[in-house]
Amino acid sequence: MSGSPTDGPLRLAVIIGSVREGRFGPTIAGWFADRARRRPEFDVDVIDLAEVALGSVAPSTSPPPDIVQALGTLTPRLDAADAFVVVTPEYNHSYPAALKNAIDWHNPQFHAKPVAFVSYGGLSGGLRAVEHLRLVFAELHAVTTRDTVSFHNAWDRFDDNGRLKDPDGPNAAATTLLDQLTWWAHALRHAKSKRPYDI
């Protein structure tokens, strides 16, 4: 069975969804991972898709050797996670292609696990990307949390050292998100320990 033992810490995978040059995702993810690591119930694993060489190769049953190698790194980390936070920008009213491709290479790794979102962008704060991702993760038998953290005009919200200029609102939103994620992760992990999810 994937995930951690029922009495151990929750393994939280924080996925950086943007891979393009000049991306702001690592700054957002760094802030969020720091918030999550302050909570003893989480063991945080930051997964940067820019370090996973999937490229644009579509999922197949016989992937080339370089893709096999990349999956050999990524898949076990997703499989071990009890919960996910996807950090995503908004590209053309949706989410990045690299994020979709990484998701498409996987399926059971997300089954009966909670997924939350931290989004960023311009005026929309990346929320249209989040709404699209909810549909994708529903297809993968995942549970998405109601609340998100979103950064409108994100580049103006952080200083040159990656620190929030006005942290009160985002910190409060992160606490709510992590509270919901904790509840769902514990509930689903306990349920799967009693009855494996093989539907």
Gap between the Cα atoms of 119 and 174, Å rounded: 12
**CA 169 – CA 171 distance, rounded (Å):** 5
Per the DSSP assignment, residues forming a β-bridge with 14 are 46, 85
Angle in degrees, CA 176, 155, 182, rounded to 5: 20
Number of domains in the chain: 1
Residues facing 26 on adjacent strands = none
Q: Does residue 89 sit within a domain?
A: yes
Q: Would you say residue 185 lies in a domain?
A: yes
The tens digit of pLDDT for each residue in 17-53 reads 999 999 999 999 999 999 999 999 999 999 999 999 8
pLDDT at 5 over 80: no
DSSP string, 83-123: EEEEEEE-BTTB--HHHHHHHHT-SGGGTT-EEEEEEEEST
**Confidence at residue 1, expressed as pLDDT on a 0 to 100 scale:** 44
In a domain, residue 198? The reply is no
Q: In the prediction, which pLDDT does 43 show?
A: 98
| Calpha distance 45→65 (Å, rounded) | 25
Please indicate, yes or no, if residue 156 is contained in any of the structural domains.
yes
pTM for this model (two decimals) = 0.95
- The answer to whether position 14 is within a domain reads yes
CATH number of the domain to which 144 belongs: 3.40.50.360
pLDDT at 7: 75
138 within domain boundaries? yes
- Domain that residue 116 falls in: 10-57+69-193
117 closest CA partner among 102, 134, 101: 134
In a domain, 81, yes or no: yes
62 in any annotated domain: no
